[in-house]
Amino acid sequence: MVAATSTKDGWSSRSAFILAAIGAAVGLGNLWRFPTLAGESGGGAFVIFYIGCVFLLGLPLLLAEIFIGRAGQTDAVGSIKRVARESDVSERWSLFGGLGAVAAFLIVSFYSVVAGWVLYYVGVFAADFGQAVLAGDPFRGALEGESQEQISGRMGSLFANPALLLSMHFAFMGTTLFIVARGISGGIEKAATWLMPAFFALLISITIYGAIVGDVGEAAAFLFTPDWSKLTPEVMNAALGQALFSLSLGVAGIITYGSYIRQGTKLGSTALAIALADTGVALLAGLMIFPIVFAVGLDPAAGPTLVFQTLPFAFESMPAGSLIGLLFFVLVLVAAITSSISLLEVPTAWGVGELGWSRPRSALVFGGAAFVIGIFCLLGYNILSDFRPLGFWSIFAETDILDTVDGFTGKIMLPLGALLTSLFIGWRADRKLLERTTGLSQGAFAIWRFLLAWLCPLAVTIILVTGLFPSLLG
């Protein structure tokens, strides 16, 4: 007879969990959203404030979510219920697990669309590199002979082509669904243990390349020299929200991954490793992208198109730009897949744990439904470009479909999930259970609980309120 505990699907080792959790955390948030925000917000002050948010708010919340999963041992809703029961408080707290599953489901629907753009650029650069090889000049610049308008115009033609957007979205969501349907040790863990090392190798190579051909000094000065006058309330708000998004907090995703951890794993150092790796990758992404941007004299504040329009242009005039461009978009794609599987895993685990569905069925139902919502998101760039789903609401009055789903989850659902997590663990969870499960030293435990009980609720409430009522910021 096999012991009951070993038949439960789960991570085969602590390092497998850490790799998968880093895979979940590191994604478009690090490689696309972080450089975009840092560039728009003027660099240093944003970056330093962001790092503070990660360690004072993100890290305690990360540990709280890992704790709930480890103590609960099942999907987010079931795990919160169990912690509530063992703490003698209302099981209704589990509502935030359900809320998280809905949020993760909504996020994966548009995440797959954006990842589809990345996939398209992988195709563009693969074709370009193929041509370079055939022409006997594999180390030439990218997209030779095209003007800046032609290069950045690609994004416009992609957006005007629903069939192309749809096929990219389909390919990405299909891959995500396939991996999630195969389960933890056979699917998610295998994907993470192959993809994450490849990711780090690529990231370091491109950063070194950027340092050789670009201007790292200027990039480092931009990223780390604070001009505190640029730290406006909007910038602080963006930094707080980005810290939650980048660490995958607030949607019970880490609760779900945490439930597959084996007993005896040290949770505190695990959380620290994840936070350090995620922040390290965001900073490296900055040190990879900005030297290239500065080398060709482009604008760091280009916004969301920085990665898709600015960088390809920069690759044109760089040695081996065609190859590096291909590697760069493969890197972003790998990061996006390991994150999207963590998102789809939340509702999938919920279907398995709460509805008793089989894993493949649950993944198919939620992945399929998210695919359909994603279709509406991508039609928002062409056929439905005038549609404003929440147009009656002033903060979403001008927002297209994808940005509405992004804004609604990012500005409302994510902070709400984080707020409820910090209140639940900071105030309601049983102290003995917390001490036993986390295995923290007394000092670390006191700091952790203080940050969760006081700083997190306060700061997250500020994000939530100023996100909903931007006029309060003047």
Q: Which residues bind ligand TRP (CB under 6 A)?
A: 24-25, 27-30, 104, 107, 245-246, 248, 251, 253, 339, 342-343
Minimum distance from CB of 306 to ligand TRP (Å)? 16
Nearest distance in Å: CB 153, ligand TRP: 27
Which residue, 28 or 423, has its beta carbon nearer to ligand TRP? 28
d(CA 424, CA 287): 38
Q: Quick one: 27 or 380, whose CB is closer to ligand TRP? A: 27
| Residue 200 CB coordination number (10 Å) | 17
Q: Name the helix (H) or strand (E) containing 175.
A: helix 162-181
Q: What secondary structure letter does DSSP report for 390?
A: T
Nearer of residues 323 and 346 to ligand TRP, judged by Cβ: 346
Cβ atoms of residues 312 and 325 within 8 Å:
yes
Structure tokens at 401: 């479909």
Q: Which lies closer to ligand TRP via its Cβ, residue 30 or residue 466?
A: 30
The least distance separating ligand TRP from the CB of residue 30, rounded to whole angstroms, comes to: 5
Residue 66 beta carbon to ligand TRP: minimum distance, rounded to whole angstroms: 14
H or E element in which residue 459 lies:
helix 456-468
Rounded to a whole number of angstroms, the minimum distance from the CB of residue 275 to ligand TRP is 12
For residues 129 and 329, is the Cβ–Cβ distance under 8 A? no
Sign of CA dihedral 335, 339, 344, 348: positive
Instruction: Give residue number: closest CB to ligand TRP.
Output: 29
* Encoded tokens for 218: 């200027």
- At position 106, the amino acid (one-letter code) is L
Three-state secondary-structure class, residue 278:
helix
Residue located via tokens 């920085």: 306
Cβ closest to ligand TRP, residue 265 vs residue 342: 342
| Smallest distance, ligand TRP to C-beta of residue 96, A | 13
250: left (phi over 0), alpha (psi -120 to 50) or beta: left
Give the DSSP letter of residue 303.
G
Which residue's CB is nearer to ligand TRP, number 27 or number 353? 27
Indicate the residue type of 449. Answer: R
Quote the DSSP letter at residue 395.
G
> CB of 424 within 8 A of CB of 459?
no
Minimum distance between the CB of residue 253 and ligand TRP, rounded to whole angstroms?
A: 4
Q: d(Cα 126, Cα 13) in Å, to the nearest integer?
A: 36
Residue closer to ligand TRP, measured from CB, 107 or 179: 107
* Shortest Å distance, C-beta 271 to ligand TRP: 15
Number of other residues whose CB lies within 10 A of the CB of residue 372: 10
3-state SS assignment for residue 174: helix
In the bound state with ligand TRP, the residue whose beta carbon lies nearer, of 96 and 294, is: 96
